[in-house]
Amino acid sequence: MGSRKKQMAAAIKEGKKQVAFAKLNNCPTSPRKMRLVADLVRGEKVEKALNILKFNQKEASGRLEKLLLSAIANWQSKNEEASIEDAELVVKEIRVDGGSMLKRLRPAPQGRAHRIRKRSNHVTIVVGANNNTQS
């Protein structure tokens, strides 16, 4: 019974070697603006995703490009013997969640105050090797 658990643990560990992730917390951009850029690279191959982010005009694309490079480096540190070109890395998952909000007050007419919400977000990128290769 004990050897079976070790085999299952080894299989799970091998599966986890195929994926790597990187997180960016409390990025001072609204989640809506970040999702516009994140939707462009979801499911794309890593090389194409990097090109999309490099030549995109939005500010969020620069932050996502840096995060994607970090995820690729994390994958490479897990799989030192494999090369990125052979693995055909893909952006498996990219998640943008709302972060903490800074609340500020802005003067409004007739002595009132309007609340300004300065939003931030958390981004998680998961990259993995493309297993379904067609011949």
Each residue's pLDDT tens digit, 39-90 = 999 999 999 999 999 999 999 999 999 999 999 999 999 888 887 778 889 9
pLDDT of residue 67: 96
pLDDT of residue 134: 47
> Which of the two residues, 12 and 93, has the higher pLDDT score?
93
The amino acid at 37: V
- Whether pLDDT at 9 is above 90: no
Q: What is the pTM of this model?
A: 0.85
CA distance 55 to 20: 25
Record the tokens describing residue 66, joined without a space.
Answer: 């840096």
Domain residue spans of the chain: 19-129
> What percent of the chain is modeled with pLDDT above 70?
96
Please state, rounded to an integer, the average pLDDT across all residues of the chain.
90
Q: What is the DSSP letter of 110?
A: G
Q: How many helices (H) and strands (E) does the chain have?
A: 5, 5
pLDDT of residue 43: 93
Q: Look at 78-87, 99-108, 110-119 and tell me which has the smallest mean pLDDT.
A: 78-87
> Right CATH number for 19-129 from 3.90.470.10, 3.40.640.10, 1.20.120.1200, 3.10.300.10?
3.90.470.10
The amino acid at 93: E
Record the tokens describing residue 55, joined without a space.
Answer: 């030549």
> What percent of the chain is modeled with pLDDT above 90?
73
CA distance 120 to 97: 9
- Per-position b or e across 27-58, b if 16+ CB within 10 A of its CB: bebbbeebbebbebbeebebeebbebbeebee
